[in-house]
Amino acid sequence: MSADMSIKSRLFSQSTIIFAVRVFGAAIIVLAQAGIARLWGGAVLGQYLLVIAVVNLVAMFMPLGFHTIGSYFAAEYRAKGRRSLLWRFLLRAYSHVALATIGVLALALVLVFFHGNGLPDIARYWMQAAILAAATAIIFVNGALLVGLKRPFAGFFADGLFRPMLVIAAFVLAAAGGAGEARLGVMLWIFALCYCLVALGHFFFVLAAMKTVPDIYEDLVADDLMPGKSEVARWWRFAMPWVLIAVASGFFFDIDLLLLSGLMERETLAVFGVSARIFSLMAFGISAVYALVLPDIFEQAANGKMAEFHRQLGEANLVATGLSLIMFVGILIGGPLILMLFGPAFAVGAIPLAVLSLVLVVRSVLGPGDLVLSINEKPWASLPAIVLGLGALIVANVVLVPALSLLGAALAALIAFAVWSGVLWLTARQIAQIDVSIFPAIARWRRERKLINAR
């Protein structure tokens, strides 16, 4: 019982710290964006948001999915004492980023050379965007590896804390030294170059963490340390579907906003967009819980200790469900006040935001089916759930939004996530023979309570 409480306490405390840092970083980003809009105008803010959107999308694809599976393989190779093999994985991931960076920079040079010949305005910032995307991709890889190596704070803080601080610093410096629209270009140059330095420092954290990984094969010759074709194929078998999974989950509301753009007026769409961003911030708190316990879960699975694997997965589900319920109550109370910060017109989003927060409860109760399928080397099995979830989103939007507007959009998202999570839960039970939901943990807790009462 004390071990269970230790895990719960650790998850609550560490995830709370990570979530608090994320909230602080998000507040800084909002402050910087508000400053751009007030001092430089809404059009410049729109250009900035477009550049950052391009940066995030390009950075997402640069590592070719290896950043999405870095935590899994880092935890596995650490548990098995395969530091040399982890080095090969690391080098492969960074080589993808390097080759993609060369291609993107080449495209940037072409765009800069031909700027003014009918290219969009974003072309003038493409060089900064290319550099920033490369730094972002490196930090994606670094962060995944550090989480797998049980360095969650180092893994999350580069993106969650240092990036927002650089954004506000770059904005202040550009506002003081630039003029006109050129100020955005100056800001992006400062941001991109400084973030490259952060990525470099972050990489040194990875190197330090790698030294703690044992290597039981250190006496073998170099040729024996090369990953075989089966291991490289395994990397790709995991990476390719996880790119699609990460895009669908990470950019779910971007897809949803595009679908809603033909069903809502612009002002109403803006309210839903703000609610979706608040939800995404809350969702990070739940993701932090699973990220903290992932290395231990992967280690137990890799070592065949399935009883401990089930126990730790259940504890993570209990903590995640508890946090999601707390967030739901918090949104019921504080949601209207948060939305009022954006203006009185946004107050109508309070109830839809509360409905969106229920998504976190559903996801936590049904558990991380996609992660368990990956542990069982069946990551592709997650794709039907994604397709069905997005299909449910389209149908529910068409049916509910015309009648219920904002509430309909929130209900459509809730239905889509319920279908997505439910199908993942059923798939994990069918393929992996594992109940990833919260219910086994509740049953175990009841058994323990009966034993205590019997004494």
CA distances for 231 relative to 25, 39, 130, 222, angstroms: 38, 53, 31, 16
pLDDT of residue 373: 80
Q: What is the pLDDT of residue 114?
A: 65
pLDDT tens per residue across span 425-440: 999 888 877 888 888 7
- Pick the more confident residue, 101 or 298: 101
Mean pLDDT value of segment 382-404: 91
Reported confidence tier of residue 251, pLDDT bands at 50, 70, 90: low
> Read out DSSP for 65-123?
THHHHHHHHHHHHHHHTBHHHHHHHHHHHHHHHHHHHHHHHHHHHHHHHTTTSS--GGG
Q: H helices of 251-382, where?
A: 252-260, 266-302, 306-340, 350-366, 369-375
Q: Which range, 16-30, 89-103, 210-224, has the best average confidence (pLDDT)?
A: 89-103
pLDDT recorded at residue 372: 77
Highest average pLDDT, of 84-93, 110-119, 144-153, 393-402, comes from: 393-402
For residue 222, what pLDDT band results from cuts at 50, 70 and 90?
very low
- pLDDT over 50 at 1, yes or no: no
Is the Cβ–Cβ distance between 440 and 314 less than 8 Å?
yes
| Confidence band of 415 (pLDDT split at 50, 70, 90) | very high
Q: How much of the chain exceeds pLDDT 70, in percent?
A: 78
CB 138 within 8 A of CB 97: yes
pLDDT in tens, 235-249: 888 787 777 777 777
Confidence band, pLDDT 50/70/90 cuts, at residue 85: confident
Residue 135 has pLDDT above 70, yes or no: yes
Residue 72 has pLDDT above 70, yes or no: yes
Mean pLDDT of 216-227: 49
- How far, CA to CA in Å, does 162 sit from each of 50, 125, 170, 231, 422? 21, 22, 12, 35, 36
The predicted pLDDT at position 137 comes to: 93
Q: Count of CB atoms within 10 A of residue 99's CB?
A: 12
How far apart are alpha carbons 159 and 25 in whole angstroms?
A: 9
Domain ranges of the chain: 1-229, 251-455
DSSP sequence for 176-192 = HH--TTHHHHHHHHHHH
Report the percentage of the chain scoring pLDDT > 90. 18
Interval 446-451 mean pLDDT = 75
Helices assigned H by DSSP within 159-181? 163-177
Task: Supply the pTM of this predicted model.
Answer: 0.65
Phi and psi at 63, nearest 5°, equal -80, 0
CA-wise closest residue to 422 among 374, 373, 362: 362
- pLDDT tens readout for residues 276-323: 777 877 777 777 677 666 666 666 666 666 677 777 777 777 888 888
pLDDT at 145 over 60: yes
Decide: 179 and 199 in contact? Cβ < 8 Å: no
Question: How far is residue 363 from each of residues 72, 373, 403, measured CA to CA in Å?
Answer: 20, 16, 26
Residues 432 and 378: beta-carbon distance below 8 Å: yes
> Residues with Cβ < 8 Å from 338, sequence gap 6 or more?
278
pLDDT greater than 60 at residue 341: yes
Q: Which of 73-77, 122-126, 220-224 has the highest mean pLDDT?
A: 73-77
Between 326 and 367, the higher pLDDT residue: 326
Higher pLDDT, 50 or 198: 198
- The average pLDDT across 155-172 equals 84
Distances (CA, A) of 435 to 188, 303, 373, 396: 47, 19, 11, 28
Q: What mean pLDDT do residues 335-358 have?
A: 82
Give me the torsion for CA of 286, 288, 293, 298, rounded to 10°. 100
Query: At which residue do the structure tokens 């990875």 appear?
Result: 206
Mean pLDDT of 217-244: 64
Check residue 299 and give its pLDDT: 65
pLDDT above 50 (res 225): no
Cα–Cα distances in angstroms (integers) from residue 409 to residues 198, 247, 254, 387, in the given order = 39, 20, 13, 19
Do the beta carbons of residue 186 and residue 171 sit within 8 Å? no
The angle formed by the CA atoms of residues 236, 237 and 242, to the nearest 5 degrees, is: 90
- Kindly tell me if the per-residue pLDDT of 250 is higher than 60: yes
**Which candidate, 333, 41, 19, places its Cα nearest to that of 156?**
19
Lowest mean pLDDT among 175-179, 225-229, 295-299: 225-229
Question: Helix, strand, coil: what percent of the chain each, to 5?
Answer: 85, 0, 15
